[in-house]
Structure 1
Amino acid sequence: MNLAPQSTTPAVEHALLWLRADLRVTDNTALNRAIASGLPVIAAYIATPMQWYQHHISGRQIDLIERRLLVVKQQLKDINIPLLTLECDDFQAVPDTIINLCQQYQIKVVYCNRQHPWNEKQRDIAVEQALIAQDKQWHCSDDYCALPPGSVLTKQQQMYKVFTPYRNAWLTQFLKHNYQPVTNSDKVTFSQQCLNLLEGDIATNCNIQTFHYTKQDSLLWPVDEGVIQQRLQMFCETKAEYYQQQRDFPAIDGTSCLSPYLAIGALSARQCLAALTETLPQCVEINKENGGFVWLSEVVWREFYNHLLDSDDRLSKNQPFQPYTHHVQWLENSDHVHAWQQGITGFPLVDAAMRQLAATGWMHNRLRMITASFLTKDMLCDWRIGERWFMQQLIDGELASNNGGWQWAASTGTDAQPYFRVFNPTTQSERFDPNGEFIRQWIPELKSVPDQYIHAPSLWSGFGSVDYPLPIVDHKQMRVLAIDSYKQAKTWHESQREA
């Protein structure tokens, strides 16, 4: 019996680049390390729809990810790297998915960039253990923050619990080491097998699939590399200098609107800081009149919240940073919650902000603070309800910043100030939307209300002809009740500790 000769050519080993919240080719640490390995590189993105539902990820963000993957696929193809998109239910199924890839494509080593929420860290531990059991290598790099978690600590080697001293220490570290975007390697290993993968062997799997998730349109946010970089550069050149004066006024286009790209990793913190410091070198000086410094501080807030999340697993588990606030007696009023979600509370700036969120998946940062304060202080509603709703709506939702912002507003987190961090929604409206321009944009039924009543339309004599609700709460009464509730919770907590 004649047998066909068996090939003695060994299978070509590959490196796997596992993309997660780092959907970019420029300034991607894991990609550069994969290329530097000298092995042909295959990239993969693994969708986990059931996990997304559990984490309340918005449909707009998933739509943005899908669209961005098409761009990344072409960018990777230009450097001879095929991109696979796969789908499994949740994080628990990811290790088997990775192992199957390793077996199918002779993958020797997996490269990725670290994520900081607790579930993601447990997933990565499971993947690493599965790879080691198969005699595979695992390399996970710090990349999501400009300065890695654990690098900015107090003299006692503990994580800072207050922002301002953290920022000062962060700046010292940043200036000392001059953190810059990592330069892409141009030494991409090319082989005939890699060419086959690009042209045939896995071409069908290289099509960016439509993930099984309820999505919403994200077309307000371009995903092309050139447009994203242009937005960053234009902000630094034309808006950053005036950021301090303009950032709090939602009717003015004074913010960067880059947060959706940072959330999915289409843009890195290092890239933002490099563009800012190149355009406005004085921004690293601690000067509150310096618009560039104020925007830099916003980037540092993002770092602060991610470092906190990495150091304290409670923040990934629906727990408050301040233990005594476990005992705040939240009110349960589903009608009020519904009114807040739909933008029909009778407080115009709150309602305009919530309608902007529903229509676009984005909200101005000053308005995030106002609406969060309203829910937690004027309605005395559990902050976790608001945190979850925002994640379900926001195109830029990410756990660290969303949780950090909500706990800041609810006075359950760091920098907690429960006795005076109670925003008056009417005076905030008068101060930051003085002519009611933003209000009228999002609440057309108030267009006929005179300027002097736009912030409290129920006081206008013609209010009866306006299809707009009366205020659902009395701010003065709820402010007193909220402060008293926090005081009672703290007193009870301290008495239990002493007992």
Structure 2
Amino acid sequence: MNTEPQLSTITGHALVWLRADLRVTDNTALNRAIASGLPIIAVYIATPMQWYQHYVSGRQIDLIERRLQVVKQQFNDINIPLLILEGDDFSAATDIILNLCQQYQINAVYCNRQHPWNEKQRDRAVEQALIAQDKQWHCSDDYCVLPPGSVLTKLQEMYKVFTPYRNAWLKQFLSNNYQPVTNSNKVILSQQCLRLLNDNIDTNSKIHAFNYNKQDSVLWPVDDSAIQQRLQMFCEDKAEYYQQQRDFPAIDGTSCLSPYLAIGALSARQCLASLLQTLPQCVEINKDNGAFVWLSEVVWREFYNHLLDSDERLSKNQPFQLYTDNVQWLENSDHVHAWQQGQTGFPLVDAAMRQLATTGWMHNRLRMITASFLTKDMLCDWRIGEQWFMQQLIDGELASNNGGWQWAASTGTDAQPYFRVFNPTTQSERFDPKGEFIRQWIPELESVPDKYIHAPSLWSGFGCVNYPLPIVDHKQMRLLAIESYKQAKTEYDNQREV
């Protein structure tokens, strides 16, 4: 017996609402929509004012626009038209979704959950509006391998320290079969879907939102084959040596997959499936095991997203460590500008900031060094750095960016203790010993001897070099930063006792 529904009996559609999940393969919301048996229409809603409020970089928006062209064709190949629409901000989403439901007789909306507070408020408003009209709302956990709220302490609380969280995460991961799912079957095609698929008008050409402060993302290919090849090559050629090479920016030793994870062109499940297939020993806890160390970085991403989901303060510019709200930050706009432009007089800091400005990406060790420099050597509010990074990064993502900045600023959970302050010169000597990365991004230092490349102002020929003197004295600022944090903690503790 033919059990497939006939087109004449189909009275409605399912809507797949894409957000930070720009892929056809291993997309939980899409899989659930396909399982419903309804013909499917997909939509992506561009929100330029919301991007502006969230400091999203022009490079990431360009990457999203380019990726949507790929996804649009992939959806067409499985009989799903993808509409790309525009609203000012998240508040416009409710009316857009309701209008689509009316226009295309949509009975159920499928999407993947997002964890920042604004996104959750948007989804709650849409859900309530749909329920009021007897429409179904299906929101799935997809952004993380293990959903937020699933990795908890014995007291059913969110972990505050990473290592026990990672241990609990691994135990749960290994006890379940978390594998990516490939969508291979075409979906039911209704007459309305057919008309949309046959519409040759490129809807992207009408979306002015993508003109948003755009910067070129061409360094990052967006087709699936290139992304999967990058993942596979990392697992086969680099993951084993990740621990030994990951901290040296002159070495191409990292995966560079973060932009794809940020926009959902690649899932964390796909990353781990590829890693496990290539290096099964990656789940063995061993700090010298490069594959395990990279796996731990994926778990750090989970940790920060789980924290973000559980604590709305992290979406609202508030520190996790409440006492740090009492830190007396210095306000020096000239120093901030010098940091942003890579003109601090500390070569590795400046090389990193110039890499960020030019490419929209920065090596992870350098993210820690530059963040430590801003918050400890300049005693500048970490939120200024967090915002600047989001405005520049092609892989900008609230949970990881906020988590990284609060770690460096000693304001977050399981953060760098405030009395441990990176020495930018020592870090430079250790992780770029020959100055290869420095010279790549600061050509004016090309003639400086290796002996002085990390502190060029000490070189006798420095007067002929067009490079600034150090804007701060590290030793003095280190002591001032430690004292400032100490005073903030004492003040907070005294307030609690009153």
Q: Which one-letter code corresponds to 2:380 in the other structure? A: C
Matched residue, 1:434: 433
Equivalence map 1:364-379=2 (5 Å)? 364-379=363-378
Range with bigger deviation, 415-424 or 166-175: 415-424
Matched residue, 2:128: 129
Matched residue, 2:269: 270
Q: Which one-letter code corresponds to 1:471 in the other structure? A: P
Identity of aligned residues (%): 85
**Cα pair distance change 1:294/1:11, threshold 3 Å:** closer
**Cα pair distance change 1:81/1:351, threshold 3 Å:** same
Q: CA deviation at 1:302?
A: 0.3
Q: CA deviation at 1:208?
A: 7.4
Matched residue, 2:483: 484
Q: CA deviation at 1:93?
A: 1.1
Matched residue, 1:460: 459
Matched residue, 1:324: 323
Q: CA deviation at 1:29?
A: 0.3
Matched residue, 2:379: 380
Q: CA deviation at 1:194?
A: 2.1
Q: CA deviation at 1:456?
A: 0.1
Q: CA deviation at 1:206?
A: 6.8
Matched residue, 1:289: 288
Matched residue, 1:152: 151
Q: Which one-letter code corresponds to 1:292 in the other structure? A: A
CA–CA separation in structure 1 for the residues paired with 2:190 and 2:87? 30
Runs of 4+ with >4 A deviation: none
Q: Secondary structure at the match of 1:373?
A: helix
CA–CA separation in structure 1 for the residues paired with 2:28 and 2:246? 32
- 1:377-420 deviations in whole A, cap 9, x for unaligned? 00000000000000000000000000000000000001134344
- 1:148-190 deviations in whole A, cap 9, x for unaligned? 0001000000000010110000000000012111232515112
Structure 2, unmatched stretches of 5+, are 1-7
Q: TM-score, normalised by structure 1?
A: 0.96
**Cα pair distance change 1:104/1:77, threshold 3 Å:** same
Alpha-carbon contact 2:10-2:38 (below 8 Å) kept: no
Q: CA deviation at 1:10?
A: 8.1
CA–CA separation in structure 1 for the residues paired with 2:211 and 2:459? 49
CA–CA separation in structure 2 for the residues paired with 1:146 and 1:318? 26
CA–CA separation in structure 2 for the residues paired with 1:240 and 1:185? 29
- 1:408-434 deviations in whole A, cap 9, x for unaligned? 000000113434431000000000000
Alpha-carbon contact 1:27-1:268 (below 8 Å) kept: yes
Q: Which one-letter code corresponds to 1:48 in the other structure? A: T
Q: CA deviation at 1:207?
A: 5.8
Q: Which one-letter code corresponds to 2:376 in the other structure? A: K
Alpha-carbon contact 2:282-2:291 (below 8 Å) kept: yes
Matched residue, 1:84: 83
CA–CA separation in structure 1 for the residues paired with 2:245 and 2:479? 32
Matched residue, 1:5: none
Matched residue, 2:194: 195
CA–CA separation in structure 2 for the residues paired with 1:419 and 1:206? 48
**Cα pair distance change 1:492/1:420, threshold 3 Å:** closer
Q: CA deviation at 1:195?
A: 1.6
Matched residue, 2:360: 361
Equivalence map 1:294-313=2 (5 Å)? 294-313=293-312
Alpha-carbon contact 1:29-1:141 (below 8 Å) kept: yes
**Cα pair distance change 1:407/1:276, threshold 3 Å:** same
Equivalence map 1:438-449=2 (5 Å)? 438-449=437-448
Matched residue, 1:6: none
Alpha-carbon contact 1:15-1:107 (below 8 Å) kept: yes
Q: Secondary structure at the match of 2:96?
A: helix
**Cα pair distance change 1:447/1:178, threshold 3 Å:** same
CA–CA separation in structure 1 for the residues paired with 2:211 and 2:182? 35
CA–CA separation in structure 2 for the residues paired with 1:450 and 1:212? 45
Range with bigger deviation, 417-426 or 58-67: 417-426
Q: Which one-letter code corresponds to 1:38 in the other structure? A: G
Matched residue, 1:95: 94
Aligned length: 490
CA–CA separation in structure 1 for the residues paired with 2:254 and 2:184? 33
Q: Secondary structure at the match of 1:377?
A: helix
Alpha-carbon contact 2:39-2:188 (below 8 Å) kept: yes
CA–CA separation in structure 2 for the residues paired with 1:326 and 1:401? 21
- 1:30-65 deviations in whole A, cap 9, x for unaligned? 001111111100000000000000000000000000
CA–CA separation in structure 2 for the residues paired with 1:204 and 1:218? 21
Matched residue, 2:388: 389
Q: Secondary structure at the match of 2:23?
A: coil
Q: CA deviation at 1:20?
A: 0.1
Q: CA RMSD in A?
A: 1.3
Q: TM-score, normalised by structure 2?
A: 0.97
Q: CA deviation at 1:12?
A: 3.7
Matched residue, 1:4: none
Q: CA deviation at 1:299?
A: 0.3
Q: CA deviation at 1:209?
A: 3.6
Range with bigger deviation, 190-199 or 444-453: 190-199
CA–CA separation in structure 2 for the residues paired with 1:209 and 1:329? 44
Alpha-carbon contact 2:94-2:126 (below 8 Å) kept: yes
Q: CA deviation at 1:197?
A: 2.0
**Cα pair distance change 1:386/1:221, threshold 3 Å:** same
Q: CA deviation at 1:481?
A: 0.4
**Cα pair distance change 1:197/1:409, threshold 3 Å:** same
CA–CA separation in structure 2 for the residues paired with 1:492 and 1:216? 45
Structure 1, unmatched stretches of 5+, are 1-8
CA–CA separation in structure 1 for the residues paired with 2:364 and 2:466? 28
Q: Secondary structure at the match of 1:46?
A: strand
- 1:2-22 deviations in whole A, cap 9, x for unaligned? xxxxxxx78841100000000
Equivalence map 1:330-369=2 (5 Å)? 330-369=329-368
Q: Secondary structure at the match of 1:38?
A: coil
CA–CA separation in structure 1 for the residues paired with 2:460 and 2:244? 35
Q: Secondary structure at the match of 2:391?
A: helix
Q: Which one-letter code corresponds to 1:41 in the other structure? A: I
Q: Secondary structure at the match of 1:30?
A: helix
Matched residue, 1:233: 232
CA–CA separation in structure 2 for the residues paired with 1:277 and 1:422? 36
